[in-house]
Amino acid sequence: MKRVFEIPFHFLVVVLGLYLLSGIGSLLAYDTELLINLAAYGHRLQQTWIDIMHPSSIYIYWGEGNKQYSITEVFSKTYFYSFLILFSSFFLAVCLSVLFSYSLMLLPRKAYRFSTKIINGLDALPDVFIVVLFQLFIIWLFKKTNLLVFDIYALGEERIYFLPILCLSVIPAVFLLKQFLFQLKEEENKPYVEFSYSKGFRRAYTVWHHLFRNVWVHFFFHLKPIFLLMLSNLLIIELLFNINGFMQVLLRTATSSPAAFFLGMLLIFVPFFIVFTIGSNILSKWLKGGEQNSE
């Protein structure tokens, strides 16, 4: 019963926080010294509320020539494109992390330790460095073979997919890979693994059918940090690949149109809040059911 009231309360608190954040640009003023201008901040919040009540009056300066477009036109063009890249990158990161973690678990001990050192090295690389490295490799390959394998820069309304998706998936894949390996090693020391080996099951079968089945439970708890990581990286990807995406819209509207910024943040927050809330409820019920069955 308590959770029924907690969920709407958390939702309203976050929405209120986003609304207050939308006008933060007018809170600080500079006149020979830095000042906190509460009157301008209150006026900006009031104007934002009026604009939200009349969304058809909200316009954004966007695209070539910095022309004025309605909020619905800009959001519809950029939202689905950016989140197609985001979800594709997430799916690719999960697939790569599962594939590599499963393969690494089958390696001899020395090879496994060497591989983990490489993973730790990749984890330390900055996002920008990875993107630039991919772009330089494509340019080098083009110079050597005169073959442009992938577009490395979006021009105008052009849309590119493969390289942004690949670059965006690298850091989350490494993060997930480390988490999977840690959980798999934790599970490997439990009695049911030795029991599986004693029954004659091979290591490849035990890792996939027993270890991974238990590790997937922990996977959901890492979704929120991965989501936040990929959102911040998505902005970097859009900037480096010159993609006219949704994160660039938010970056521009953060100072020019508080109402558009607030509505854009809601488009990010609300769908994922619903998904995480439903997933959390299903997982908690499933875990409680498992505890009752084990008793």
**pLDDT tens digit string along 143-177?**
777 766 667 777 667 788 888 888 888 888 888 88
Q: Which of 89, 80, 120, 83 is nearest to 226 (CA)?
A: 89
pLDDT at 263: 92
pLDDT at 211: 75
Q: 179: which DSSP letter?
A: H
3 state DSSP class of 280 = helix
**Please, which pLDDT band fits residue 88 given cuts at 50, 70 and 90?**
very high
Q: How many residues make up the chain in this entry? A: 295
- Where is pLDDT greater, at 158 or 76? 76
Q: Pick the more confident residue, 127 or 94.
A: 94
Q: What pLDDT, on the 0 to 100 scale, is given for residue 294?
A: 40
Position 75 pLDDT exceeds 80: yes
For residue 195, what pLDDT is reported?
74
Better-scored residue on pLDDT, 61 or 284: 61
pLDDT value at position 201?
A: 75
The position carrying tokens 């100072």 is 255
Q: What pLDDT band is residue 194 in, cutting at 50, 70 and 90?
A: confident
First-to-last CA distance in the chain? 24
Q: What integer pLDDT is reported at residue 6 of this predicted model?
A: 81
The CA distance from 30 to 14, in Å, is 29
Q: What is the DSSP string of 120-182?
A: HHHHTS-HHHHHHHHHHHHHHHHHHHS---S--S--TT----HHHHHHHHHHHHHHHHHHHHH
> What is the C-alpha separation between 100 and 181, in angstroms, rounded?
9
- Contact at 8 Å (CB) between 58 and 260? yes
Mean pLDDT to the nearest integer, 202-228 = 77
Q: What is the pLDDT of residue 292?
A: 41
Own/partner pairs, 204-211, CB within 8 angstroms, 24+ separation: 204/106, 207/102, 207/105, 207/106, 208/102, 211/105, 211/184, 211/187
- The pLDDT of residue 293 is 43
User: 180 and 97 in contact (C-beta within 8 Å)?
Assistant: yes
Radius of gyration (C-alpha) of the chain in whole angstroms: 24
d(CA 1, CA 7): 11
Q: What is the DSSP letter of 157?
A: T
* pLDDT of 281 strictly over 70: yes
86, 246 contact by CB (below 8 A): no
Q: What is the pLDDT of residue 57?
A: 83
Q: How confident is the model at residue 291 (pLDDT cuts 50, 70, 90)?
A: very low
pLDDT of residue 32: 64
Distance CA 106, CA 189 (A): 15
pLDDT higher than threshold 50 for residue 240: yes
Residue 30 has what pLDDT? 63
The confidence score (pLDDT) of residue 92 equals 92
| pLDDT (0 to 100) of residue 295 | 41
